[in-house]
Amino acid sequence: SQGLLYGMEMIYAVPGWRAPFVLVNVSRGIASPVTLEPDHNDVLAARDSGFLQIHCATCQEVLDNILIAYRLAEDPAVRLPVIVNMDGFYLSFTREPVEVPAVEDVDGFLPPFDPESIRFRANAPESQGVVVLGGTPYSYFRYETHLAALKAGEVFDQVCAEFGARFGRHYAPVACHRTEDAEVVFVMMGSFSTKAQDAVDRLREAGWKVGLVRPRLLRPFPDVALRAALEGKKAVAVIDQNLSIGLGGILYAEIASALYQLGRDAPILASFVAGLGGRDIAAEEFFEIAAVCRDAAATGKPPKPRLLFTAEEMKEVRKYQTIAETEARMIKGTPS
Amino acid sequence: MNDRHFDNIKDLPSTHLLGVGTALCAGCGGLQALREVCDVLGEKTVIVNAAGCMTLLSVYPFTPFHGSWLYTSMASAPAGAQGVRDALDILIDKGRIGPEEDLNVVVLTGDGSAYGMGLSATSAAVERGLDFLYLCYDNEGYANTGHQTSAATPHGAKTATSTGVHGFRGYKKDLFEIWAAHRPVYAATVIGSEPVDLARKVEHAAGLKGPRFILALAPCPVGWEFAPDKTVEIGRLAVDTGIWPLREYVDGRIRHTKVPHPRAPVEEYLRLQGRFAHLFEPEHDDGTIQEIQDAVDDYWDEFD
């Protein structure tokens, strides 16, 4: 939300304090223009802050991952804050059944936190968050934070394994849906990926070998798991619900960096931007994306990045513009 | 707190709690006030700092503090203080630490933050009744970035961004009155060159619970353009001319702790500072000097 941007100075400051806590972000498209509905440009503005990021697709996942996030954040090898991301309106303002674990079980999973040096006590005076001068100590502490974030990848796996054993719900850094024999794979984050999942099931019914990969963990970036999930596929369509103005989809660029190491064996990679400001993504659009990817795989030529927008939508915008122009003319024409 | 009375200079603490050798400028009036405040508050203090000159007090791996320190950002020191206060309260309440581990939570900020971008967070903290002491060293400009105009810059002063022939055309914001309008438990203005008055006020504030405000005028040799050995003299003149009224807000009333009588003409204060030199050379700017004098006279007329 705009609020995350308002807090951005401290969002970048606190990871360096190695202060572990959990921030649940309700994602919204950010101004301008002003809107109330979701996309991921807000949380991606915090991408490089040092907060770890877990992106959720359902309310159950939000609840479970808040618990997982506390364990991850407080792990002595990590000690970094974590953002658990949920989409505005789709998850924040809707209701769905959620299994709430018992307090005793949660207590067993989340032991009391030992703050170690992150505390102020009269008997142990300490200066914290102090200035460093010259690039050397600055680089040192930035690298330390980065290495801790990388370490968090292993810790996430351990924590999720324990969570699964205790609560019966299993989470991986990358969620895969019908990818094993898939030739074309959609890559998407957040609740809109459930639309992609539905499209995958419908395409499968029609005999298409399609799957969905959903990065749940965005920081640390699960590049190994993503390569494992995408290696050997014919084409990968990254559907970004964000837009880096002047670049394109942010996740697309990140997936490209992960797949580059596969060299000539890397799948064809296609970029689609969709779902900005809560714009719906219709099943037919996923079908079209799958077709574009299938054709690209056949020719071996990656398609141009596409910004999803239908002729119908263009008509709608033209209608708004006509109304706005007419209103403006009427106001001008009115004698004062 | 302690039953200490500060009646004269001999009553001031003889143990000094702020270390020397920091990166601050020679003759810094803010450091002078902070040093005096630290001596009165004692070691059981955590200072939550907003971005400003004092940020450079604690440079890794050194710190001049006997107590604790947390650097936050320019606009969010009161929010940081709230977090530290709440954490201590909760831990003591739950018995996880003893009451002897408690700390006075002090926000330390310059005028750039206190009068400007930190004001919203400050107002909100006072409104929540946060138990903290808020200390502002007011050097009347963004001093550590080259002394640009701030919301505390006085009428007629030249700054890096007010370079016109008459200096800064606006008037200094009255932050003390803004605080008083919030009905805090205590608010006071001080200056390092009046250490007994300062110590009395800080001691009083330290014994109270709730939002407390100490506003210290901080003569700045670099930004105000005077020799470092003139800090005390200029500080005294700020009081004697009536430009810096020493006052306190207690129980809904404002009173002066020192009434300069008769008041020295403001010109005596202005002449010593390079930031006002354009009022005297090449021509005597009678108009602007009179405006400054009138503003001081108008203020005191209410109380005379």
Share of chain A above pLDDT 90, in %: 95
Structure confidence at residue A117 (pLDDT): 85
* A209 confidence band (pLDDT: 50, 70, 90): very high
Does the pLDDT value for residue A336 go beyond 70? no
Q: How far B228 CA sits from the closest chain A CA (Å)?
A: 25
Q: Between A9, A120, A131, which is nearest B58 by CB?
A: A131
CA distance B156 to B221: 17
Length reported for chain A: 336
Structure confidence at residue B3 (pLDDT): 64
A311: three-class secondary structure by DSSP:
helix
Extract the tokens encoding B245.
């009224």
Tell me which residue has tokens 């640009």: B148
Q: What is the mean pLDDT of residues A95-103?
A: 95
For B136-162, the pLDDT digits (tens) are 999 999 999 999 999 999 999 999 999
- CB contact under 8 Å between B63 and A127, yes or no, is yes
- CB contact under 8 Å between B69 and A130, yes or no, is yes
Q: What is the mean pLDDT of residues A188-192?
A: 98
Q: How far A156 CA sits from the closest chain B CA (Å)?
A: 27
The 3-class secondary structure across B210-222, one letter per residue, is CEEEEEEECCCHH
Q: What is the pTM of this model?
A: 0.93
**Are B84 and B48 spatial neighbours (Cβ–Cβ below 8 Å)?**
yes
CA distance A242 to A146: 24
For B61-103, the pLDDT digits (tens) are 999 999 999 999 999 999 999 999 999 999 999 999 999 999 9
Burial of B283 (0-12, 13-18, 19+ CB in 10 A): exposed
For A212-262, the pLDDT digits (tens) are 999 999 999 999 999 999 999 999 999 999 999 999 999 999 999 999 999
CA distance A50 to A60: 25
CA distance A18 to A15: 5
Q: DSSP labels for B18-87?
A: B-S--SSPTT-HHHHHHHHHHHHH-SSEEEEEPSSGGGGGSBTT---BSSEEEE--SS-HHHHHHHHHHH
- CB contact under 8 Å between B73 and A120, yes or no, is no
Q: Between B59, B66, B67, which is nearest A131 by CB?
A: B59
* B4 confidence band (pLDDT: 50, 70, 90): confident
Best probe of the A interface among B62, B68, B117, B132, by most A CBs < 10 A, is: B68
* A25 confidence band (pLDDT: 50, 70, 90): very high
A212: three-class secondary structure by DSSP:
strand
**Are A128 and A137 spatial neighbours (Cβ–Cβ below 8 Å)?**
no
- CB contact under 8 Å between A13 and B84, yes or no, is no
Does the pLDDT value for residue A334 go beyond 70? no
Tell me which residue has tokens 């170690």: A116
A12: nearest CA in chain B? B73
For A117-144, the pLDDT digits (tens) are 889 999 999 999 999 999 999 999 999 9
Nearest to B122 by CA among B76, B89, B171, B172: B76
Extract the tokens encoding B93.
């309440």
For B16-60, the pLDDT digits (tens) are 999 998 999 999 999 999 999 999 999 999 999 999 999 999 999
Q: Which chain A positions have a beta carbon within 8 Å of B103's beta carbon?
A: 120-122
Structure confidence at residue B2 (pLDDT): 53
Q: How far B263 CA sits from the closest chain A CA (Å)?
A: 43
Q: Which residues on chain B place their C-beta less than 8 Å from a C-beta of chain A? A: 43-44, 46, 55-56, 58-60, 63, 65-76, 84, 87-88, 97, 100-103
- CB contact under 8 Å between A122 and B100, yes or no, is yes
Classify strands B186-191 and B246-250 as parallel, antiparallel or unpaired.
antiparallel
Give the H/E segment covering residue B105: strand B104-110
- CB contact under 8 Å between A120 and B76, yes or no, is no
Nearest to A267 by CA among A278, A282, A256: A256
Alpha-carbon B196 to chain mean position: 15
Structure confidence at residue B191 (pLDDT): 98
Q: Between A123, A128, A133, which is nearest B69 by CB?
A: A128
Q: Residue type for B242, please?
A: G
Q: Which chain A positions have a beta carbon within 8 Å of B43's beta carbon?
A: 122, 125
Residue A323, CA distances (Å) to A206, A312, A318, A336 in order: 43, 17, 9, 22
- CB contact under 8 Å between A131 and B55, yes or no, is yes
Q: How far B231 CA sits from the closest chain A CA (Å)?
A: 27
- CB contact under 8 Å between A130 and B58, yes or no, is yes
Which residues are within 8 A (CB) of A311 and not within 5 positions of it... i.e. 6 or more apart?
A: none
Q: How far A299 CA sits from the closest chain B CA (Å)?
A: 54
Extract the tokens encoding B146.
């080259």
Q: Which chain A positions have a beta carbon within 8 Å of B46's beta carbon?
A: 120
CA distance B191 to B36: 10
CA distance B67 to A230: 54
**Are B4 and B203 spatial neighbours (Cβ–Cβ below 8 Å)?**
yes
For B157-214, the pLDDT digits (tens) are 999 999 999 999 999 999 999 999 999 999 999 999 999 999 999 999 999 999 999 9
- CB contact under 8 Å between A131 and B100, yes or no, is no
Q: Which residues on chain A place their C-beta less than 8 Å from a C-beta of chain B? A: 9-10, 13, 119-123, 125-133, 137
For B281-290, the pLDDT digits (tens) are 999 999 999 9
A127: nearest CA in chain B? B69
For A36-71, the pLDDT digits (tens) are 999 999 999 999 999 999 999 999 999 999 999 999
CA distance B266 to A24: 55
What's the CA angle centered on B245, arms B244 and B246, to 5 degrees?
Answer: 110
A113: nearest CA in chain B? B96
Structure confidence at residue A335 (pLDDT): 60
* B1 confidence band (pLDDT: 50, 70, 90): very low
Mean pLDDT of chain B: 96
